[in-house]
Amino acid sequence: MSEDAKTVVKGLKGIKAADSSICEIDGEIGKLIYRGYNIDDLCAHSTYEEVAFLLLYSELPNQTQLDQFHDSLTAHATAPPEVLAALKALPKDVAPMAALRTAVSVLGHYDPLAEQESDESNKENAVRLIAVLPTLTAAIRRLRDGHEPIAPKPELSISANFMYMLNGEEPSADAAKAMDLILILHAEHGFNASTFSARVIIATLTDMYSAITGAIGALKGKLHGGANTEVLKTLQSVGGVEDVAGWVADVRSRKGKFMGFGHAVYQTQDPRAKHLKEYSQKLGQEAGDTKWYDLSIEIESQVVAEIGRQCNVDFFSASVQHYMGIPGDLFTCIFASSRIAGWCAHVLEQISDNKIIRPSSHYTGPDERSYVPISER
């Protein structure tokens, strides 16, 4: 094997492709940092609006800045009627993530700043995307269910508005906080596949809507954004707590996957998981039915004991969102509506010191050969 071949790293695991000041992940001890702030502190004390501001502007806002940011988000939260019309024209059985990908692409046509390249216009585009993705996700759910989309209420936070637009009624305090946690915890996670896709695309100096459309396309893949949907399918198929041991044994015997366990980065427990675990219990108690929490706890206990892998953020997010009345196939759209803050932060960072991302490949084809005329082949 040549020296060049030895340097190939499939999937680019461990390869540092750029400097970034946005996110630090320590997989060995299970630590996640957004611009210097531990995710535990942000979950305990912050809101998604504050976290989105932090990711975009590098610092947490003061009250005046937060109020202005809320006003900007409110101004951009209503989806253009032309975009809603495009969603209505889609086939009724279209996958929600495919619909969201289309909606963002169409949205770019109705943003007068979409093709401008100034820092100010790019940040305005970022704010608009952060504001409107929950609205688009909620509209996709409403239209599929045969209902008209609901316009956001200006007085509500992003998380409370999201729940209101999804379900048609304002959420309880616990449900709104759970959505806030989901948005904070999924907002950013380094150079994952969708984020790196966004950076590769924007590095060509295209527009932000193209970069975010590409990121949504990457997140749509089942190896990236769909794990919590699979966790919900597992919960619904296992049965009851008494059936968990048999299910674990069956998965092990056929060498299947335990969805929601293990992580490509974390060698210990995903630091995001414990926050959603707490709210799975709270929402179950609020609903008067802790079945999904109890089942999740039993599965966690037995899988950890059997294979030694800790659960990740996807595991308890499944039961939390199920308690919130969100259908499983919409979970990845919720993920995108959160990760949009991180995507936009990375897009802005990439173009602030841009160099087109153009790696090389190790050629494994035949040596140079002579062309043979078609009559002689």
Assess contact for 216 and 97: CB atoms under 8 A.
Answer: yes
Assess contact for 281 and 49: CB atoms under 8 A.
Answer: no
**Helix, strand or coil for residue 38?**
strand
The backbone torsions φ and ψ at residue 13, rounded to the nearest 5 degrees and listed phi first, read: -60, 130
The backbone torsions φ and ψ at residue 33, rounded to the nearest 5 degrees and listed phi first, read: -125, 130
Q: Which residue has the tokens 């974390």?
A: 266
Active-site choice (70, 76, 189, 263): 263
Assess contact for 277 and 316: CB atoms under 8 A.
Answer: yes
227 DSSP 8-state letter: H
The backbone torsions φ and ψ at residue 23, rounded to the nearest 5 degrees and listed phi first, read: -145, 135
> CA 195, 203, 7 angle in degrees (round to 5)?
75
Please confirm, yes or no, whether 263 is among the known catalytic residues: yes
Separation between Cα atoms, residue 179 and residue 334, nearest integer Å: 9
CA 299, distance to chain mean position in Å, is 24
Active-site choice (189, 314, 322, 346): 314
CA 347, distance to chain mean position in Å, is 15
Please confirm, yes or no, whether 314 is among the known catalytic residues: yes
For 325-376, the DSSP string reads T--GGGHHHHHHHHHHHHHHHHHHHHHHT-----------SPPP-----GGG
> CA 161, 164, 165 angle in degrees (round to 5)?
85
Give the catalytic positions in this structure. Answer: 263, 314
